[in-house]
Amino acid sequence: MKNLVIIPARGGSKGIPRKNVRIIAGKPLIKWSIEHALDSGADRVLVSTDDDEIAEVALKSGAEVPFLRPSNISGDLATTESALIHALEWLEENENYVPDNVILLQATSPIRKKGAIDEAVSQMLEEGGDSLLSVSSFEHFLWRDKKLPIASYDFKSRPRRQDLDPDQLSFVENGSIYVTKLNVLMANKNRLGGKICLYVMDDVSKYEIDTQLDWVICESILTAVGSGGLV
């Protein structure tokens, strides 16, 4: 079974300029995810980018960068799926390479425990899934609709967090790992489809970098833990 990791990385990040190659805890941000992918059982690790500097860093980190992504799918409105589909079509057309499963890692999620990627793939296959996303458990109480507030729990009988039944837990999509069967991805033009599985990650892996505060938090964790972010 062929498992392909794709790490999309645009050069035009707005929230934190040049964040994919910015040094965090001693390494370029994208290198953390590349190292996690190389440590997994995936047979290929590819970075899809439109940026020469990101491509150079990715190559030096051990990833493949067989092309530069076209500008028409690299702008602010471009979807991650467009990058995935472009990479898959390029590989089939130019190398006759067709994977069974596509593993999407986002460079903005630099914290993953050792073995997490392989666990996610194995879980999807064992559960007979077509796609999988990583999530973090959410044990807090939710309210929605400011005008007519509605609670996600019975506030008249407020439960203690430690007494929550597993079936009462909610989960937050953390953006770290996605696994999709190739035929499902190409048919739906979406990373999720068919029977969807949830891979629950530990609490420390929930952080993804969108703001400067996220950066500070992740850098503190990576610096404290070390070991390539494999916690």
d(CA 208, CA 107): 9
Residue 158 annotated in active site: yes
Joined tokens for residue 23: 């040094």
H-type helices in 96-229, by residue range? 116-126, 182-188, 212-225
Mention every residue, 6+ apart, whose C-beta is less than 8 A from residue 223: 25, 26
* Residue in 10, 22, 158, 161 annotated catalytic: 158
Work out whether strand 143-144 and strand 150-151 pair parallel, antiparallel, or are unpaired: antiparallel
Strand residue runs (E) in the chain:
3-8, 23-24, 27-28, 44-48, 101-105, 131-138, 143-144, 150-151, 170-181, 196-201
Closest CA relative to residue 56, chosen from 84, 91, 28 = 28
Could you give the residue numbers annotated as active site? 158
